[in-house]
Amino acid sequence: MARSFVSASWDDLRGAQPELAAAGERLLSPNGSGVAFLATTRKDGGPRLHPVMPILADGRLHVFVVTMSYKHRDLLRDGRYALHAALPEGGGEEFFVTGPALATADPGRRAGVTAASGGRLGHNEFEALFELRLDRVLHARWAKWGTAEAWPTFSKWNAPG
Amino acid sequence: MARWQTLEKEAPEIAEKGRALIYQFGTGLGYLATLRPDGGLRLHPFCPVVTAGGIYARVIDSPKRRDLLARRSFAFHAFAPEDRDDEFMLTGTANLVEDPQVIETVAEAFHAAGATSSGDELTFEFDIDRALLALYKPRAEEGPHWPPEYHKWRAAS
């Protein structure tokens, strides 16, 4: 059973912090082709970490997760996740979100997410759809990336509530 | 829990291909998931170091370092290569290194691989509980690309 959280949709982030949302959309490439890393919580409370392909559809961030996987069981049991965008070429930026992942069985939503992935994802029954709700969002821009003087500037947003 | 050298001995293919994924861009790179004080997850890129039979991180003062000191549990995942989706993941426990000789050895390997340092890092060794290697077909090859070929290892308890 997923825990209860204060959380927001991607559209809520766009409304509150459009520049932060735009940075996320640029770095996540959320059309089913960009790779990001998803951390979930194992049964023993420790973290687990795997790549996923996020998809933005209808103002919400989603992932398909294979039902035979441990991360699927993690998300159904605990729901908490952290997602980090792959580093852009040359580095210098990070984009990171946390929140609860909510299993989504609505066929209309699923069809919309599959369409938003360019038809690449969501055709198989073993692909379970989750909405990644947001409670914290962080974007870091690093000055002097790759040097000993590297220093980040952070933009952050927490879901209201 | 086991050191990297035990993984090398008991599952050499996982260790060899895992090491190649870690160092595919020269400097060691990967993502590190840690546990926040509220039990939630934190996730950031970092520069692992494989040397002297261990896998290590040098971590500046940060929430991630405080997570490693207080709760210790970690998951590591290497970056994927350019042409395929190969995965290498480790889970286990981080231990603060206090031996000055080991700290120096790790720092030398860290800098030799091209990483930079602010000089105020703490050194952690990752004791490994589980290792997972997933080998995929290149994306340019005809599918299906899933499932990959999985190789798993678990430390003796």
Q: Do A96 and B44 touch (CB under 8 A)?
A: yes
Residues B116-143 pLDDT 10s: 787 889 999 999 999 999 999 998 999 8
Mutation to test the A interface, candidates B31, B58, B84, most A Cβ within 10 Å: B31
Instruction: For residue B73, give how far its alpha carbon lies from the nearest alpha carbon of chain A (Å).
Output: 6
Contacts of A69 in chain B (CB under 8 A): none
Place of tokens 């798993």: B152
| pLDDT at residue B117 in the model | 81
**Percentage helix, strand, coil for chain A under 3-state DSSP, each rounded to 5:** 20, 40, 40
**Tens digit of each residue's pLDDT, chain A (161 residues):** 444 558 999 999 999 999 999 999 999 999 988 999 999 999 999 999 999 999 999 999 999 999 999 999 999 999 999 999 998 887 789 999 999 999 999 999 999 999 999 999 999 999 999 999 999 999 999 888 777 777 889 999 999 97
Return the minimum-mean-pLDDT range out of A68-77, B91-100, B142-151. B142-151
User: Which tokens in the block code for residue B147?
Assistant: 């499932």
- Given a contact cutoff of 8 angstroms between Cβ atoms, the answer to whether B106 and B55 are in contact is no
* Other Cβ atoms within 10 Å of A37 Cβ, number: 25
Complex ipTM tops 0.95: no
Contacts of B79 in chain A (CB under 8 A): 86-87
Within an 8 Å CB–CB cutoff, is residue B43 touching chain A? yes
User: Which tokens in the block code for residue B107?
Assistant: 């720092």
What is the distance between the alpha carbons of residues B26 and B116, in angstroms, rounded to a whole number? 13
AA letter at A45: G
Beta strands in chain A (DSSP E): 36-41, 47-52, 55-57, 60-66, 80-85, 93-103, 127-132, 136-143, 151-158
In 3-state terms, what secondary structure has residue B45?
Answer: strand
Beta strands in chain B (DSSP E): 30-35, 41-46, 49-51, 54-59, 73-78, 87-96, 122-135, 149-154
- β-bridge mates for residue B42, sequence order: B34
What is the distance between the alpha carbons of residues A36 and A146, in angstroms, rounded to a whole number? 21
User: Which tokens in the block code for residue A124?
Assistant: 């198989």
Mutation to test the B interface, candidates A5, A6, A28, A37, most B Cβ within 10 Å: A37
- Given a contact cutoff of 8 angstroms between Cβ atoms, the answer to whether A8 and A137 are in contact is no
| pLDDT at residue A5 in the model | 59
Question: What share of chain B in percent tops pLDDT 70?
Answer: 100
User: Which tokens in the block code for residue B45?
Assistant: 């890129």
DSSP A33-73: TS-EEEEEE-TTS-EEEEEE--EEETTEEEEEEETTSHHHH
pTM, 2 dp: 0.94
**pLDDT (mean) for B17-33:** 95
What is the distance between the alpha carbons of residues B139 and B157, in angstroms, rounded to a whole number? 38
